[in-house]
Amino acid sequence: MLSRTIRSVLTKTNKCFVNRTFTNCAPRFSGNALLEHVDTDDNRSELPFDFTPHYWEEANKILAKYPPHGKQSATVPLLDLAQRQCKGYVPIQAMHKIAEICGVPRKQVYENATFYAMFNRTPVGKYHVQVCVTTPCMLRGCDEIMEALEKHLGCKNGETDSEGLFTLGEMECMGACVNAPMVVISDYSNPPNFSYDFYEDLTVESAIEVLEKIRRGQKPTVGPQNGRPNSLGPQGRTSLFFDKGSEVQKPYCRDINAQPENKEQKK
């Protein structure tokens, strides 16, 4: 939310910043700007939902981690399983099933599903492209990347392109600010397999090229797109000089069984 406040202030004083409204995969806004569910043919509470045998096996592994009175702790991982099974989104009937499994009110599952940007509540394209819009990425050009991707794909933030291939969205902090700006592209189209790949150190040109490689059926290199390894700065590695595969030097730890020094004898 801090980044959105800063963006609001900067937009008033500097027209180069794009003023956008937060959205999460084609939501519907009510008069007070809160997200609300809209029934569709395949996303309404009257429809039945159950996990497939494969995902029930995974669900039982998750539930086994918690005591019987703590099943509500499985809400988020079960939402993730439902999204994988449903090819990239969590329909409301799946939320109701998860509430039943966890023994919690439905609204508690709604709260989790609407809070986390990783959960989509409406269908998405084969590839879900989310642009990080937190402050470091904003300062490094995420607004320009979002604007360029909207123009390139012919759809707005929260919408899917005409081919049904890409859905464009945004996300708060992806946790790799030193590699700003960045996007994450997920593909849930072939369950139980899925991918969730981060592309970092982007420019407008390299962001578009990543999408075009995916469109051509190629697999872009995951990670920084400017050629640097991981998050190394211009000086290269300045710490952690051990080689890959070698034994990591352990931090110093005193011998707790050693007898204390006799200071008088040392004199």
Measured CA angle at 80 (ends 76, 81), to 5 deg: 120
Residue 25 annotated as part of some ligand binding site: no
In the chain, the amino acid numbered 28 is R
3-state secondary structure of 97: helix
The answer to whether 102 is a known ligand-binding residue is: no
Max intra-chain CA distance, the chain: 88
The residue extents of the domains of the chain are 2-23+124-224, 28-115
DSSP collapsed to 3 states, 220-238: CCCEECCCCCCCCECCECC
- This prediction has a pTM of 0.73
Chain center to CA of 117: 7
Query: Is there a binding annotation on residue 16?
Result: no
Beta-carbon contacts of residue 219 (< 8 Å; ≥ 6 apart) = 213
Integer-rounded Cα Rg, in Å, for the chain is 24
CATH topology of domain 2-23+124-224: Glutaredoxin (3.40.30)
For every one of its 267 residues, what pLDDT tens digit does the chain have, with 9 covering 90 and above?
A: 455 555 555 555 444 444 454 444 444 433 333 467 888 888 888 899 999 999 999 999 999 999 888 899 999 999 999 999 999 999 999 999 999 999 999 999 999 999 888 899 989 999 999 999 999 999 999 999 999 999 999 999 989 999 999 999 998 889 889 999 999 999 988 888 889 999 999 999 999 999 999 999 999 999 999 988 888 887 777 776 666 666 666 666 767 677 777 766 655
Q: Is 92 helix (H, G, I), strand (E, B) or coil?
A: helix
Domain range 28-115, CATH class: mainly alpha
Q: Nearest to residue 108, comparing CAs of 71, 72, 62, 82?
A: 72
